[in-house]
Amino acid sequence: MSPASQLAVAAIALAAIVLWIALSPPSRNDLAGGDEGCYGTMARNVLAGPRFLVSPALTPLGPPGDKPPLYPAVLTPFIRALGPTEAALRLPSLLLAAIVVVATTMLAGRVAGAWGAIATAGFLVSLP
């Protein structure tokens, strides 16, 4: 793929991501618990004290948990900046998904050309 085609495909992938965010903003749905609430609680515990960084508690300031600490550590700066909101918990996943879409689209472009890359971006942003 030529550099101009790569740029066009990247622009299409980014436009698909922007459309995805516009149709489903990170703060649209309430947190009803589940994984988001659990990881949000662990991240808030990390903010409360460094002892929770290695083994984040599953309950507010509770005993050490058994979950991996990386994702709560990733959430921590977003919660610090945006507060304990739905957007703060969903923004890191959204950013990482955008990186995956762009990287996969560019890789598909090398193998399948521009139309394959555009289809890849479309498929990725339309997944549930």
pLDDT by residue (tens digit) across 71-111? 999 999 999 999 888 888 888 988 888 888 889 988 998 89
How far the first Cα of the chain sits from its last, in Å, is 29
3-state helix, strand, coil in the chain (%, to 5): 75, 0, 25
Whole-prediction pTM value?
A: 0.70
Domain that holds residue 68: 28-84
128 and 90 together in one domain: yes
42 and 78 together in one domain: yes
pLDDT given at position 80 = 93
67 and 32 together in one domain: yes
For the chain, the domain total comes to 2
75 and 96 together in one domain: no
74 and 36 together in one domain: yes
33 and 74 together in one domain: yes
Contact 66, 83 (CB under 8 A): no
Split at pLDDT 50, 70, 90, the class of 28 is low
Task: Enumerate residues 6+ apart whose C-beta is below 8 A from 112.
Answer: 119, 120
35 and 60 together in one domain: yes
